[in-house]
Amino acid sequence: MRIFSPAKLNLFLAVTGKAAGGYHELLSLAVPLDFGDMLEVERRGEGATEDELTCADPRVPTDGSNLVRRAAAAFREELRERGGGRAGGPFFRFALEKSIPPGGGLGGGSGNAVAALRAMNRLEGEPLAEEDLAALAAGLGADCPLFLPGGPVVFRGRGEKVEARPELAGLLRPWRIFLLDPGFAVPTGPLFARWAAAVREGRRREEAGEAERALARGLEELRQGDPGPLLRNDLGSLLREKYLFYDVVEAAVRAAAAGWLGITGSGSVAFVLLHARPTRVLSGRWSGSSSGSRAFPLKRRSFPGRIADSKKEDRSSCMTPTKSRYFTDPRPRPEWPVGAPSSSSTRTPRFRSIRSPRRS
């Protein structure tokens, strides 16, 4: 069985407080994209003694630390507790075709885990109901439950409080996404530690009430046709202090009047929310470059997108990104925080195309 595992995008992300165990509470609006990985799943024979995972991307671990294998172990344990699993099984073989960059804030690992849960459940005759899958997903990771509804969600806390918002799909469908990956990953733990330090120093605030009001205002502006006020990422403000990449991209987006720039999750991937019918090309003159400006067209892709949540793989609640490209020049700044970058410290980024794997 082949199943699509979509990436997710955080259009709104606010840190609202500290949770038990040293974790942080969040308020976020997340949407699935019509861009992601493909996972092939099959049941192994009676003699199998463990799950098997293969992936051509060397950045992706294939041992027991991978969320796909952890999902398989959790699924198997749940079947045993219900008396529906044989002793020592069932075991599965997974082949992961990776397109989502690891460590980019697109939820690749979490989405893979949920895709694995759905595939295993179907292969075993769907012994688990949707609420059972949700409980397993919550035990695997904070981002996992948000992939289950198959459309826009608002989640709170550590991610365990998920509110499906299917009515937002129609509001988001006219907009397109251009993904920009700087080619470096952002470790989540150190970034949240940096956030906690900024709160202690009074440089950041955590206010749940203010965040809820900001999300409500942003959604109202979206209904009026303006998505700009909705785009917020508290963690992204810290990334801007360290990496020149975001300043360079934002300058190009503003120069082209192409749309609105945002950062998803804890980074590092940025995105541009594009006008429904853009009349310009996202381009710009990159300072310090001898080759002049680099331009790349924002090619239109048709709507609606699709998300593989049903056997018919209906992705009507997805936003569709344009053909994505990587920036491979991260340009880290030397320390946290530093002042604004100088124009002489940037150079022309290099691009390489990425494509989603073929879907069956």
* Active-site amino acid positions: 8, 143
β-strand partners of 34: none
Q: What's the Cα-to-Cα distance from 175 to each of 49, 172, 200, 222, 307, rounded to whole Å?
A: 47, 6, 38, 11, 16
Q: How many CB atoms lie within 10 A of CB 266?
A: 24
Cα 299 from Cα 281, distance rounded (Å): 9
Cis peptide bond N-terminal to 337, omega within 30: yes
Helix orientation angle between 130-140 and 67-82, rounded to the nearest 10 degrees:
130
DSSP state for residue 316 in the 8-state scheme = T
Q: Give the three-class secondary structure for 116.
A: helix
Which of these, 268, 259, 244, lies nearest to 100 by C-alpha position?
Answer: 268
Show the tokens assigned to 125: 């005759």
Cα 96 from Cα 111, distance rounded (Å): 12
- Strands 52-55, 270-274: pairing is unpaired
